[in-house]
Structure 1
Amino acid sequence: MRPWRRVLVVLAVSQLIAPLVVSALAGDFLRSGATNEALITPAGYAFALWSVITLLCAATALAVWRFGLGSSWETSLLIDASVVFVGFSVWLAVAAQNWLWVTVAVFAVMVGALAHIMLLLVRRRGDLSCPPWLTTLATVTFGLYLGWSSIAVFANIAAALIDSGVSPDAALWQGVVLVAAAAFAVLLTVTLRGTVGYAAGVLWALVAITVGAAGRDSVALAVTAAVAALVVVAATAWTRRVS
């Protein structure tokens, strides 16, 4: 397990460096092209969450390297986390090249790996023998990562469709994408027993979409995103009550 702990630390640090490298080579590509044309693109401030997530990942990786998780499935979790961290850098690289359908595929892999990590941390929490604070740190870190990513993958789908020729000003199809994102978020909320970190990531994304849609004068989509956020809050509260 120790080799994978070291690998995780290196890859966690790479997430801090990759945005600087890609920005130096490709500029601020996230603010131009189809990536920023969809009506359901989150408001610009929302992307600051990436800094929080990557810093938390680095802190979690260092803590796991020092203390370990103390479970039979630690290696499986570390491999999944390594896939996610590599995926982040790959996503930045392909997005900078405007290969938007590839970004969707990369995000889908990341979401799958993050979902498996969270299932282990939430549903097999009793297997862990690490300090309780480390369990909490890992659950919040990967929950926040999954929450944001599970909505971002749908935003990437919207950008890819626009890049393929679909109208960026048509609200109907973007509403369908937004509803699908919300339904997926509710499913994961229930599956993960209303984990606060996951809910926080989803709500950050949905509120930012609300602000972004309103700023593009799309009232219907702004209201849809706001309602979706309220549904996620209700699903989180209900799931935590019955779990």
Structure 2
Amino acid sequence: MRWFRKIVIAASAVIAVVGSFIGSGAAGGTPIQDAAGGALSASSTAIAPGGPAFGIWSVIYVGLIAFAVWQFLPRRADQARHDRLAVPATLSLLLNAAWILSVQFGFLWASEPIIVALLGVLVWAFVVLRRTRPSGIVEAIVTDGTFGLYLGWVCVATAANTAAVLTAAGFRGFGLGQDVWGVGVALVAGLVGVLVAIGGRGRLSPAVSLGWGLAWVAVARLDGPLVSVPTAVAAIVAAGAAVVVTLVVRARAGWSAARAAGAARVS
């Protein structure tokens, strides 16, 4: 059964990578930012990140391939952990490819439930990883680091995708204006980052990717066809809050562990 699980994950990783290749436009298709009438371009909505932000996908895909290979190596300590992670990991890879294809074929409306489902399964994966400990530093980087980056970035991508879908559907924000909505969504994304930091006990990788995405939202709002200084400021504040809270929670967890170890030695 474990070999079947490993093969399914590996096949899903291949599908996701092929999907990313198509989505980049390298296979002759339309790059994601230009697909669906440019609905996901850096100037489509106030919460859309700048184009270079999507470079983080390269890091995530390398991590996912490493994870697919890692699970085939002979180990014992983390087998049960990978068994529990198998379903959400596989679903995340398939949903990733499905999202790319939905946008490539112009079904922007379908991309929204897909990316929301992707966010949900990544939260599931994050909970699994939080409740179990990595077997070593390589496992922590390959598995926890990869899925942490994945989760943090998809938090930002979900916000941007939702804004794009609503805008394409004709939603005009009840007349509140792009600045109000941009600030509100950026702050919500920052709050999500804070909650992930607390719930994840200071895991670094989600904060890194979420902060990266919000930073590029700020760049796009300060330099481009869709300028919104309030949104840029809110995005910077949100990114900073997520990173700072992560570091504080991580430091407190380290101090608690050190005190517990010291007490154990004394007793």
The TM-score normalised by the length of structure 1 is 0.91
**Higher mean C-alpha displacement, 179-188 vs 148-157:** 179-188
Task: Give unmatched runs, 5+ long, in structure 2.
Answer: 254-267
Q: Would you say 1:148 and 2:164 are equivalent positions?
A: no
Please give the alpha-carbon distance, in whole angstroms, between the structure 2 residues aligned to 1:16 and 1:167.
35
Instruction: Find the partner of 2:100 among 92, 103, 106.
Output: 92
Alignment: residue pair count: 240
Aligned to 2:74: 67
Aligned to 2:50: 43
Aligned to 2:30: 27
Cα offset for 1:45?
0.5
Q: Would you say 1:166 and 2:174 are equivalent positions?
A: no
List structure 1 segments (4+ residues) > 6 angstroms apart after TM superposition.
none
Aligned to 2:231: 221
**Higher mean C-alpha displacement, 22-31 vs 222-231:** 22-31
**Higher mean C-alpha displacement, 29-38 vs 141-150:** 29-38
Paired amino acid for 2:62:
L
Please give the alpha-carbon distance, in whole angstroms, between the structure 1 residues aligned to 2:20 and 2:251.
39
Please give the alpha-carbon distance, in whole angstroms, between the structure 2 residues aligned to 1:116 and 1:21.
27
Q: Would you say 1:80 and 2:81 are equivalent positions?
A: no
Cα offset for 1:227?
0.6
**Higher mean C-alpha displacement, 142-151 vs 184-193:** 184-193
SS at match of 2:201: coil
Please give the alpha-carbon distance, in whole angstroms, between the structure 1 residues aligned to 2:185 and 2:59.
26
**Higher mean C-alpha displacement, 27-36 vs 196-205:** 27-36
Aligned to 2:10: 9
Q: Would you say 1:139 and 2:144 are equivalent positions?
A: yes
Please give the alpha-carbon distance, in whole angstroms, between the structure 1 residues aligned to 2:179 and 2:188.
14
SS at match of 2:72: helix
Cα offset for 1:131?
4.5
Larger Rg: 2
Please give the alpha-carbon distance, in whole angstroms, between the structure 1 residues aligned to 2:104 and 2:110.
11
Please give the alpha-carbon distance, in whole angstroms, between the structure 1 residues aligned to 2:137 and 2:244.
27
Change (3 A) 1:209 1:234: same
Q: Would you say 1:185 and 2:193 are equivalent positions?
A: yes
Task: Give unmatched runs, 5+ long, in structure 1.
Answer: none
Paired amino acid for 2:14:
V
Point out which structure has higher relative CO (alpha carbons under 8 A, 6+ apart).
1
Change (3 A) 1:100 1:184: farther
Please give the alpha-carbon distance, in whole angstroms, between the structure 2 residues aligned to 1:58 and 1:34.
29
Fraction of identical pairs, as percent: 27
**Higher mean C-alpha displacement, 185-194 vs 96-105:** 96-105
Does the 8 Å CA contact 1:100/1:160 hold for their aligned counterparts? yes
The TM-score normalised by the length of structure 2 is 0.83
